[in-house]
Amino acid sequence: MPDPAAAPPLDEMVDGRGGVRPHWRTLLGMLGGMGEGTLAERARRLDRAFEDEGMAGVLPGTKREAAWRCDPLPMVLPAGEFAALEAGIAQRARLLEALLADLYGPQQLLSEGLIPPDLVFANPGFLRACRQEGVAPAEPLLHLYAVDLLRGPDGIWRVLADRTTAPAGPGLARENRRLLARVMPEAFRGAPVRSMRPFFDLWQDALQRLAPLDGADPAVALLTRGTHDPRWFEDMLLSRELSCALVECGDLTVRGGALHLKTLQGLQRVNVLLSRLPGARLDPLECAEAGTGGVPGLLDAARHGAVRILNAPGAGLAEAPALPAFLAGLAPRLIGEDLLLPSVETLWLGDPAARQRVAEEPGWRVGAEAATRPPVASVVPCVAGDGLEPRPVALRMFAVFDGSAWRVMPGGLARIGDAAAQVGALPTQGLAKDLWVLAEEGADIIGPAALRLPPLPIRRAPGALPSRVADNLFWLGRYTERLERAARLVRATQARISRGVVLPREQAEVAALARCLAHAGFPGAEEVGGYSAAQALPGIIAAAMREGGPLPGLADRIAALTAMVRDRLTADMHATFTLTLRTARTEMLQAGDGLEAISRAMISVLRFATAVAGMAAESMVRGGAWLFLDLGRRIERAQAIASEVGFALDQPPARIEGGLRLVLELCDSIITYRNRYLSVLQPAPALDLVLADESNPRALAFQLAAISRNLSEVASDADGALPDEAASLLAEAEAMVALVIAAPDQAVAAAGLPPRLEAVAGRIAALSDAVTRRYFALLPAQQTLGLEGAAPAMKGAA
């Protein structure tokens, strides 16, 4: 037999006689109209678009940075060819469903000897927890099916791998299309490209349709591996496309035999779980592989029909590497049809004859259980430098079962490069192309009508906000504010020490600032004395900007939290947060000891903080997500004001004026003060402005009033203790100012406030802890019993 690897690859665009294939002509015509270098420029723009979307991670150099890129030239499939693939993919999905239904049910195929028992019993993908003797499994087991295909020199598409666990890629395919349409709009003109939107609409309906029968208005959730997983970005995209909640295992709990989402409003039932985890990791009660992760009781809830998990947890069984060797034989037995879409040549190595063939013939790729002999993949033109270069291509295509039929996505991912080599790898890396499916001349490209759902009831209440997300938003608010405060302190300090010597009348202010900096976590600031301050503080500030210092550290935590709440931010918000934060962080790290450079970096920090505040104010609905972001920011700011005003006023009464000046500066209230009182600086008006004035967004009172308001909204009617405490703190702020106003000597009264301010700061910290305990449910760790603890139970009776 000749070595199939020796034949030259088929060219997808150019036929054997050097002519361009008809379905590529429109695209090529468009390319001809583009100027020199335009394509390379588009490739760069596409890279940048992905980066801005957050696919490339928030910070440079962090692990979340995915090396996923899209080539500006799509891969084109003519209508007829897609129709053939569509029929083949749908049939293969039906076949695998029938196979799974047998192997998780009566196992007739094993009794009849149609597949070797090794493929089932020695396969870690066979989850015994998902089979019950004598009970047929709930169907469908397969809902989302993906297939990797390549085309050999003979022009035939063959299946390289079937993906049935939780196939990656459908969200990325959609994202490629969206960004390509933005960057290469002219490519879509005149080309009858089928839209992917109807497919996602159908998919969304299908999830509703597949809900177990008991509930009206079924709730669908997408279970992600978590924000630290490289697939998280796609999971987030999918949850948006499919309009379902994005949840992690820790957000879920099984109570009374049913699956629930833990939200701020209590437990909410989940009827359909689109799982992106391998089945063995779903339930620690049933599968040792789950360790202490997963949701205890989830498989039992599914077993008794309280929730539908898609794909079924055991569906990964159909990915057995040797299975393709038997599919052509199984098709007539299981679905009464001949297999339309062949696999690449596959041999099961448990068969001695197969082992012999593999040893004697060239070209076999040998794995543990199976050997395959894929043909040379066809090639497509890709942008390389200023020109084009033919590179091998493998397709990943997707199909979804809607309850009665399989629907194939008219599109997908065309993976480029050593495609044939990396078939098993996730498509989260490397280069891909948008896959265009051309509509037939005059065909309806809208697709079948979507399921008509009853009109939704109008809802204004905050939707289901998982406690974990509220927690992340709260800390995003706190850290953003903390970073901003640090920048303001640095600027105020620099203004006083930039001349190298501190003016005598500013000595007290610099000492107070050093205490503020120490409080804000600047290492070394607590030891700074009065006269040496001008010498010591520049070094302390510069050190705080360096890698590992408190400011870049805060930026990193903010970046991580931004990534974790990515699904709660619009694309514009995310891009704004990310770009401004990245700029500020880079400037900090590059500032070195230069006062000027540090000052510029601080301006960038303030710009970032302003962008967050502006976006939150203008683009976020005043619901749960906004409430917690704002709550975090207000609590952090209230605490900082109380502490810093305390430090500034901790002076002999005769020198209180310097402290007041500092207070107004740190609270960004100098201009307001000047407008109200011109240039006379007195304790009562200054303290009224920064402590008691509810209309000043930099005043303590403003924060406390907002905290009280937010907490009453979150707590609804349940418990009023938290908003009451905020209101009581507000009264204390007013009382302090009233005391100064009424005092015979305002300076003495002001200088006596620091202990009261310190107490207020302490109460705010306690309030923050109470919020954390009340809403973020810090659950103790999950532990398993029985496998490690049963030693005494296993004594023999001999």
Partner 1 sequence: MIYRLRHVTTYAYAHSVDLAAHLLLLTPRRLPHQQVAQASLTVTPAPSHMTEARDHFGNQATRVFLDIPHERFEVVAEALVEVRFPDAPPAAATPAWEAVAGAARGSRAAEFVFPSPLAPLVPAATGYAAASFPPGRPVLAGLLELMGRIRQDFAYRPGVTGPNTQVAEVMEGRSGVCQDFAHVMVSALRGLGLPARYVSGYVRTRPPPGGVARRGADQSHAWVEAWLGHEHGWVGLDPTNDILVRDEHVVLAWGRDFGDVSPLRGVILGGGAHGLWVGVDLEEVEGPVPA
Contact residues for partner 1, defined by CB under 8 A: 110-111, 113, 116-118, 120-122, 128-129, 131-135, 253-257, 284-286, 288, 292, 296-297, 300, 303-304, 779-798
Least separation in angstroms between CB 138 and partner 1: 13
Taking the least distance from each CB to partner 1, the nearer of 303 and 585 is 303
Which amino acid is it at 71?
A: D
For the bound state, the minimum distance from the C-beta of residue 100 to partner 1, rounded and expressed in Å, comes to 15
Q: How far apart are CA 49 and CA 56, in angstroms?
A: 10
Q: Rounded CA gap, 175 and 50, in Å?
A: 9
Token look-up 């993976």 returns: 415
655 φ, ψ to 5°? -110, 20
For 500, the token pair is 């190298």
Residue 319 class from Cβ within 10 Å (0-12 exposed, 13-18 middle, 19+ buried)? Answer: middle
The total number of residues shown for the chain amounts to 798
Q: Between 284 and 462, whose beta carbon lies closer to partner 1?
A: 284
Whether residue 358 contacts residue 350, with contact meaning beta carbons closer than 8 Å, is answered with no
User: Which run of H or E residues covers position 288?
Assistant: none
- Residue (116 or 363) nearer to partner 1, CB: 116
| Nearest approach, Cβ of residue 107 and partner 1 (Å) | 9
> Which SS3 state, helix, strand or coil, does residue 796 take?
coil
Identify the bridge partners of residue 101 per DSSP, sorted by sequence position.
none
Q: Which is nearer to partner 1, 680 or 781 (CB)?
A: 781
Q: Which is nearer to partner 1, 119 or 711 (CB)?
A: 119
Alpha-carbon separation of residue 437 from 25, 188, 237, 358 (angstroms): 14, 12, 22, 37
Nearest CA to 373 out of 4, 767, 749 is that of: 4
Alpha carbons 605 and 484: distance in angstroms, whole number: 6
CB nearer to partner 1: pick between 123 and 165: 123
Pick between residue 44 and residue 128 the one whose CB is nearest to partner 1.
128
* Distant-in-sequence, close-in-space partners of 382: CB < 8 Å, separation ≥ 6: 71, 73, 388, 389, 390, 391, 416, 431, 433
Nearer to partner 1 among residue 426 and residue 777 (C-beta) = 777
CB of 118 to partner 1, least distance (A): 7
- What's the Rg (C-alpha) of the chain? 32
Contact between 707 and 634 under an 8 Å Cβ cutoff? The reply is: yes
In whole angstroms, the minimum distance from the beta carbon of 120 to partner 1 comes to 8
Distance CA 686, CA 736 (A): 12
Q: How far is the CB of 255 from partner 1 (least distance, A)?
A: 6
Q: Widest CA span of the chain, in angstroms?
A: 108
The per-residue DSSP string of 359-398 comes to HHSSSPEE-SSEEEEPPPPPEEEEEETTEEEEEEEEEEEE
Instruction: State in angstroms the smallest separation of the CB of 162 from partner 1.
Output: 23
Residue 253 or 703: the one with the smaller Cβ distance to partner 1 is: 253
E strand or H helix that includes residue 246: strand 245-247
Give me the least distance between CB of 797 and partner 1, in Å please: 5
Phi and psi of 465, rounded to 5°? -105, 110
Distance CA 533, CA 557 (A): 30
Which two tokens mark 259?
Answer: 């699956």
Shortest distance (Å) from residue 355 CB to partner 1: 16
Which residue type sits at 756? R
**Closer by beta carbon to partner 1, 101 or else 687:** 101
Q: Is the dihedral of CA 290, 295, 296, 299 positive or negative?
A: negative
Contact 315, 274 (CB under 8 A): no
Residue 256 beta carbon to partner 1: minimum distance, rounded to whole angstroms: 5
Residue 183 CB neighbour total at 10 angstroms: 20
Residue with smaller CB distance to partner 1, 286 or 665: 286
Shortest reach from residue 249's CB to partner 1, in Å: 12
Q: How far is the CB of 348 from partner 1 (least distance, A)?
A: 13
Residue closer to partner 1, measured from CB, 135 or 501: 135
- Residue closer to partner 1 by CB (options 518, 777) is 777
Least spacing, CB of residue 330 vs partner 1, in Å: 17
Amino acid at site 742: A
Assigned token pair, 282: 């779903």
Q: Are the CB atoms for 372 and 350 separated by under 8 Å? A: no
- In the bound state with partner 1, the residue whose beta carbon lies nearer, of 128 and 676, is 128
CB of 777 to partner 1, least distance (A): 10
CB of 368 to partner 1, least distance (A): 14
Q: How far is CA 738 from CA 486, 753, 779, in A?
A: 30, 12, 43
Q: Give the whole-angstrom CA distance, residue 240 versus residue 340.
A: 34
Q: Least Å distance between CB 284 and partner 1?
A: 5
Given a contact cutoff of 8 angstroms between Cβ atoms, the answer to whether 188 and 181 are in contact is yes
Q: Which is nearer to partner 1, 504 or 796 (CB)?
A: 796
Q: How far is the CB of 282 from partner 1 (least distance, A)?
A: 12
Distance CA 349, CA 470 (A): 52
- The β-bridge partners of 159 are 149, 343
Judged by beta carbon, residue 463 or residue 789, the one nearer partner 1 is 789
The whole-angstrom separation of Cα 86 and Cα 92 is 10
Q: How far apart are CA 54 and CA 578, in angstroms?
A: 8
Nearest CB to partner 1, comparing residues 31 and 302: 302
Cβ nearer to partner 1, comparing 100 with 202: 100
From CA 476, how far away is CA 482, in angstroms rounded? 10
CB of 260 to partner 1, least distance (A): 11
507 in Cβ contact with 518 (< 8 Å):
no
